[in-house]
Amino acid sequence: MTAQTTNPPATPANPAVRQRLPFSPWSAVAIVVALTLALPILVIFGHVFIPAGEVWTHLRETVLADYVVNSLALLIGVGIGVLVIGVPVAWLVSVCEFPGRSIFQWALMLPLAMPAYIIAYTYTGMLDFSGPVQSLIRELTGLGYGEYYFPEIRSLGGAMAMLTLVLYPYVYLLSRAAFLEQSVCVLEVSRTLGAGPFGGFRRVALPLARPAIIAGLTLALMEVLADYGTVAYFGVSTFTTGIFRTWYALGDPAAAAQLAAVLLTFVFVLIVLERWSRAKARFHHTSRRYSTLPRYQLRGWKATAAFLGCLFPVLLGFLLPALQLGLWTVQTTEQWMNPAFGRLVFNSFWLAIAAAVIAVVLALVLAYARRMEGGRFTAAAVRVAGMGYAVPGIVIAIGVMIPFAAFDNALDGFMRDTFGVSTGLLLSGTLFALLFAYAVRFLAVSLQTVEAGLGKIQPSMDDAARSLGMRPLQTLTRVHLPIMRGTLLTALLLVFVDVLKELPATLILRPFDFNTLAVRAFELASDERLAESSSAALAIVLVGLVPVILLSVTIGRSRPGQQGPTRAADEESPQKPLAMPAGTTNTP
């Protein structure tokens, strides 16, 4: 027998063969899904070309300037706040050793579980005139209303503070991951050149981490633009409150869509700036040698300062609000120990589960289509389908409601004229519209997770499955899905929590007499029944803790060069700390 050489099987998983494959059903499905999910954004941009009506003219002449100024002020204020908090604490827990560091490295992420509108309600209840703080001041000083100064919580500055406290973890998470991934060699070279801890941070570590910091800042600022509950409750006029008011109070969908288009412009400018910043960055590691990061041992006042610097964000962003919510919940047992609250929980949970399943299934289809084909059209379709996360929920809600309502009205008119039968609302004002909006908004969350899971499966496994006669769909269901069970559960959980917290899209698209925990908390807080809203708010916060724990474990194990339990142990305990005597700034 003579040995024969054979070419590699012509399987889609083989990158060399994939480009020669014809246009397949997987590509067609991916493109159809992407175009369907892009419908709300296309509708919003399409209204830019509609001639402006009287309502838009009125908005432009009266309140549009306020929307722009307040939105820009929020972006600047929150941007500075999240950078000032997020970057320093990320550096401290990554490369310094001080009391409480092992706790703070995960505790600093806790404010992610606290939606901005919930922390706004909580601090209003604590700091308002009738709250415990001002009541204690009046009791201790004997002063009356107007006789002492106290900052107004319901203001633009108050909104900045609330958003900063819950959004700084975006910068902290990505900054810490970047610091943990930096090579020890680079940091050691900076030490040999005479750079102390702060000098190495400012001249070496910070420039290397700049792309990650900018990415975290961009995520935080997009959340600022998408926020509705906080600014609406504090009476700050921004694009989200203007869109909501135009839709409901003025009853002009076209003007609301044009406002949404202006807001989308702000979002896309942020995205372009973030990508431009990453493109301009040309920092490269000088070595592939990774080992446990040596930590600087802080002592004396430096250790105390580091402890307090990490404590205050956690205390103000999570512990105090959670404690207040817990006290209110105990005081208002009648709110959560009744069947009505059970229906709220049931509505919220099954809606979030349904949306999570839809998002994960769509993400799996798109990610597998990209893996099978890898062509430009398929890759572009996947990118288009995943851009919804950058779009505020209120914009997506308007983009969904306009075409769905037009379809319902057109169908109902046709059926009335032809058969004398009214079809009513088939799409708009139903749970279908709400689930569709959730899919558009949160597909990117599941898509990134699923793509990461698929990327860990070697193409040789696809080749082996095809050699056994399996079709692509069989390969997906019998080979990939069992391997990706953990990844899929993570994607489901992340979308579940995001849907549970979503407020503006739910407010606009929910069916009549259908409430969720987020909507109920907003309604009660708007009626100044802050204590009664605590049970719904606390339920959202507690569920939101689960992905925070998952993120903490993932990032703690993210440093290259470490494997298995050793890696986790290295993250928990300091290895070879660099002694830093109190009162000195240079390394030994």
Q: 258-317: per-residue pLDDT in tens?
A: 999 999 889 888 888 887 876 655 544 444 554 555 677 888 899 999 999 999 999 999
The pLDDT value given to residue 489: 86
Alpha carbon separation from 152 to 34, 127, 128, 266 (Å, rounded): 45, 8, 8, 28
d(CA 232, CA 469): 58
Name the token pair of 417: 């004229």
Domain assignment present for 457: yes
Domain assignment present for 362: yes
The pLDDT value given to residue 233: 93
Residue 297 is inside which H or E element, if any?
A: strand 296-297
**C-alpha neighbours within 13 Å on the C-beta side of residue 244:** 24
Domain assignment present for 228: no
Could you tell me the CATH number of the domain that includes residue 471? 1.10.3720.10
Decide: 257 and 153 in contact? Cβ < 8 Å: no
Name the token pair of 468: 């056994």
Decide: 460 and 380 in contact? Cβ < 8 Å: no
Alpha carbon separation from 88 to 76, 217, 301 (Å, rounded): 19, 14, 17
The pLDDT value given to residue 549: 79
Name the token pair of 249: 């109070």
Domain assignment present for 366: yes
Report the helix count and the strand count for the chain, using DSSP H and E.
30, 3
Domain assignment present for 363: yes
The pLDDT value given to residue 193: 52
The pLDDT value given to residue 30: 87
d(CA 201, CA 73): 29
Domain assignment present for 387: yes
- How many other C-beta atoms are found inside a 10 Å radius of the C-beta of residue 289? 11
Helix axes 25-37, 431-455, angle to 10 degrees: 130
Decide: 180 and 208 in contact? Cβ < 8 Å: no
The pLDDT value given to residue 186: 55
Decide: 221 and 71 in contact? Cβ < 8 Å: no
Q: Name the burial class of residue 448, with classes exposed (0-12), middle (13-18) and buried (19+) by CB atoms within 10 angstroms of its CB.
A: middle
Burial string for 360-374 (b: 16+ CB within 10 Å, else e) reads bebbbbbbbbbbbbb
Domain assignment present for 468: yes
Decide: 242 and 262 in contact? Cβ < 8 Å: no
The pLDDT value given to residue 142: 85
Decide: 396 and 440 in contact? Cβ < 8 Å: yes
Hey, which residues does 96 pair with through a beta bridge? 296
d(CA 463, CA 453): 18
Decide: 578 and 295 in contact? Cβ < 8 Å: yes
Chain mean pLDDT for the chain:
82
Residues of the chain with pLDDT under 50: 1-22, 183, 283-287, 290, 559-588
Q: How many domains does the chain have?
A: 1
d(CA 66, CA 235): 12
Angle among Cα 490, 399, 347 to the nearest 5 degrees reads 50
The pLDDT value given to residue 194: 55
d(CA 573, CA 97): 9
Pick from 117, 296, 121, 127: which is nearest to 205 by CA? Answer: 296
Domain assignment present for 93: no
Alpha carbon separation from 233 to 68, 238, 312, 564 (Å, rounded): 19, 12, 25, 47
The pLDDT value given to residue 279: 66
For residue 377, what are the domain limits? 20-42+350-498
